[in-house]
Amino acid sequence: MEKLLSKDHFEITNGENILYLNQKANEAKAKGVKVINGTVGMLYSEEGHIVDFPLVDEVIANSNDEATLKYGSVVGGIGFAKSVMDWLFGGVDYSSVKHSVIGTLGATGALSLTIRNYTSRGQAVLMPSIRWSNYDSIAQQAGATVSVYNLFNKENNFDVKSLEEKVNESVEKYGRVFLLINDPCQNPTGYTIKEGEWDEILAILKNASKKAPVVLLDDIAYLNYSRTSYDPIIQKILDSLNDNFMAVFAFSASKTLSIYGLRGGAAIGFTSSQEGIDDFKKAMEETARSIWSSPNSIACRVIEENFNSLEKREILRKKLNDYLSILEERANIFIKEAKKVNLVCYPYVSGFFLLIPCPNNQKVVDQLIEDENLYVVPLSGGIRVALSCLTKKEIVGMATKIKKAYDKING
């Protein structure tokens, strides 16, 4: 008998078990086991609760009305778009380019819409060798393939040469280029691309755009957990655009405002031609309409009402600064201990995660669960530690435990 499920159904080929491991950790905890759960990208306080923003809580509490419960704009609305632009791009000059804001279900929704509309069937999305593996699934679901550029060179800097080779290959093979970068605070390493490295990247893309259409998709989900302003990088990107070169930023309000379950986000497209941005808006709106109809009204309202005034933005940034300090303290504890026990980490700058290169990473993770009830994630040939959901007390001793399991498995 033939299966009810179509043979053409989508199947993840490069999946991850982050949510599974988180569930397993929580199940053990519910049974009274003392576990350390360093799996998920949600920011927790030192008291073990998801951090919150009083301004956000106030909007959510007052959202049980007709304005929120009815269907909203497919793209989020004019007020939503202005608020997103004020929050993300208030410190840059975008007057020389055209733009459009599309409300999405988190940054994941922005990634999905962009890849669906800006890659041809079978075209490769250029991705880093070390990455969040759901990128692969998003690309494959859109009918695209994956081509990998090396993230780090031997000096632990961004491997510009590898990227250039892949860009040139894409021009020759597909007559198009679609580059995915996760910056700043990359998941899973916590790396942020240096300004000089960005200069080289943009020079490569501008050169490619003389021969083929180029789309740069920058996943900025962790933008607001970077200590250094990203405005200079955004300005460089915008100043590099032309009629054949577009940039799209995938924004996550879920991460920025700790509204993970509300799935708030946006895709913000920039290019130099009005026709190009009109095409962007039309294609993204129609695709969104066919997948999720309209974005989450409460999430859109939270974004609009909290980003729509300078006073509120300043309050939010002060709170974010406090949370960033907590993340930095956690990272410093782990990295200092890792150096003492000779546990190597990829170069961490800021953000929710850091990554330890590790052969047999699944076996090491299994060993940590068995010996220490310590849950971390095997990802990109390493072990990802979510600093975001660990307290400083839990982090103390963790590097030593990981080194012990690493040596036990790898000798």
Q: Where are the domains of the chain?
A: 18-52+313-410, 57-309
Q: What is the pLDDT of residues 144-199, one digit of tens each?
A: 999 999 999 999 999 999 999 999 999 999 999 999 999 999 999 999 999 999 99
This prediction's pTM: 0.95
C-beta of residue 271 within 8 angstroms of C-beta of residue 98: yes
Buried b vs exposed e over 230-251: b needs ≥16 C-beta within 10 Å? beebbeebbebbeebbbbbbbb
- Those residues with Cβ within 8 angstroms of residue 238's Cβ, 6 or more apart along the chain or in another chain: 92, 93, 94, 96, 97, 247, 270
Cα–Cα distance measured from residue 327 to residue 303, given in angstroms and rounded to the nearest whole number: 23
Q: What is the pLDDT of residues 262-303, one digit of tens each?
A: 999 999 999 999 999 999 999 999 999 999 999 999 999 999
pLDDT at residue 15 tops 60:
no
How confident is residue 16, by pLDDT bands cut at 50, 70 and 90? low
Question: What pLDDT is stored for residue 371 in this prediction?
Answer: 96
Average pLDDT over residues 305-332: 97
Task: Please provide the average confidence, as pLDDT, over all residues in the chain.
Answer: 95
Determine the residue type at 218: D
Average pLDDT over residues 355-364: 96
Helix ranges (H only) for 341-386 are: 361-372
**Percent of the chain residues topping a pLDDT of 70:** 98
Question: What pLDDT is stored for residue 188 in this prediction?
Answer: 97
Question: What pLDDT is stored for residue 103 in this prediction?
Answer: 97
Q: What is the pLDDT of residues 239-250, one digit of tens each?
A: 999 999 999 999
Average pLDDT over residues 206-226: 98
C-beta of residue 182 within 8 angstroms of C-beta of residue 134: no
One DSSP character per residue, 284-352 reads: HHHHHHHHTSS--HHHHHHHHHHHSSHHHHHHHHHHHHHHHHHHHHHHHHHHHHHHHTT-------SSS
**Which CATH number does 18-52+313-410 carry?**
3.90.1150.10
Which residue, 410, 317, 305, is CA-closest to 360? 410
| Paired tokens of 98 | 């055209």
Element (H, E) at 103: strand 98-105
* The CATH number fitting domain 57-309, selected from 3.30.450.40, 3.40.50.620, 2.130.10.10, 3.40.640.10: 3.40.640.10
Question: What pLDDT is stored for residue 14 in this prediction?
Answer: 57
The neighbour count for residue 400, using CB atoms within 10 Å, is 14
Question: What pLDDT is stored for residue 5 in this prediction?
Answer: 75
Question: What pLDDT is stored for residue 66 in this prediction?
Answer: 84
Beta bridge partners of 374: 36
Average pLDDT over residues 324-345: 98
pLDDT at residue 131 tops 70:
yes
How confident is residue 90, by pLDDT bands cut at 50, 70 and 90? very high
C-beta of residue 302 within 8 angstroms of C-beta of residue 60: yes
Q: 């009305």: which residue's tokens?
A: 65
| Paired tokens of 220 | 């900025």
User: How many residues in total does the chain contain?
Assistant: 411
> Which runs of E-coded beta strand occur in 160-231?
177-182, 214-219
R_g over Cα of the chain: 21
Lowest mean pLDDT across 25-29, 163-167, 277-281, 326-330: 25-29
C-beta of residue 182 within 8 angstroms of C-beta of residue 255: no
